[in-house]
A = this chain, B = another copy of it.
Amino acid sequence: MPERRTRKPPYTIDVVLLTPVRGQLAVLLCRVPEGRDKWTLPWEGPRTGEALDAAAGRITKSVLGEDAVWREQIGAFGDGKRHPSDTEISVGFVGLVPMGTPSPVGGVYAWFPIADIPQLAPRQRQLLDSAISMVRTRMDQSPVAFRLLPQMFTLTELQQMYEFLLARRLHKASFRRALHGAWLVEPTDEWRSEGRGRPAQLYRYAPRKRRPAQRGIRLDFMS
């Protein structure tokens, strides 16, 4: 996928694909053909007339076989940092892939848990950090946690995803109360038994229209 073209593109589109793997966020990296154990984010140059977002979708399809279920632009990165393309800037996108999506075979691609990322070009490292930070901060404006789960999930799984992304424990009753009030999920008539306790009902993401919440102002900054 980082197919080298003969001419250097004016910029690149780099895609950070994230999925949960064993209770951790993982990012899809691609083995650099020349390097022995060097890895890179999926990236390509633009095609003429193609929108940036469409290019990110195309790159995702070319590495995963299907598009991400959620995608957002992170921004432009450059600042003199190195990048495999040798371009001055790269436009970063973050895409979410549901848990359980099979890895592409062949050994060229692999999911790396974000706690254990191999060395990357500095610009891609910065891009990856921004992607993870964006996913964390967009959680309350976008259905990020839902998009990382399969179509049907238990409320405990959803809460664990929130707890993992927010890196803090949540209160079960409060979480479910908020979820109920937000009209974001609907129960299915399936249940899943996992080990000992009572089976959990499976839910699906099904947001319903509601008037935007009139909350008080938030002053959550320190500088």
A182–B216 alpha-carbon span in the complex (Å): 13
**Is B166 a contact partner of A88 (Cβ separation < 8 A)?**
no
The interface residues of chain B lying within 8 Å CB-to-CB of A53 are 79
**Is B223 a contact partner of A143 (Cβ separation < 8 A)?**
yes
Q: Would you give the shortest CB distance from A103 to chain B, in whole angstroms?
A: 29
A73-115 residues with Cβ-Cβ distance < 8 A to B are: 73-80, 87-89, 91
**Is B11 a contact partner of A89 (Cβ separation < 8 A)?**
yes
The interface residues of chain B lying within 8 Å CB-to-CB of A210 are 222
Looking across the interface, which residue of chain B has its beta carbon closest to that of A77? B52
Query: Can you give 22 A-B contacts (C-beta < 8 A)?
Result: A10-B11, A11-B11, A11-B88, A46-B88, A46-B89, A50-B80, A52-B76, A52-B77, A52-B78, A52-B89, A53-B79, A74-B75, A76-B76, A140-B221, A142-B221, A175-B217, A182-B219, A209-B222, A212-B220, A212-B222, A215-B218, A215-B220
Please give the residue numbers on chain A whose beta carbons come within 8 Å of chain B beta carbons, in ascending order.
10-11, 46, 48-53, 73-80, 87-89, 91, 137, 139-143, 162, 166, 168, 170, 174-175, 178-179, 181-182, 184, 207-210, 212-223
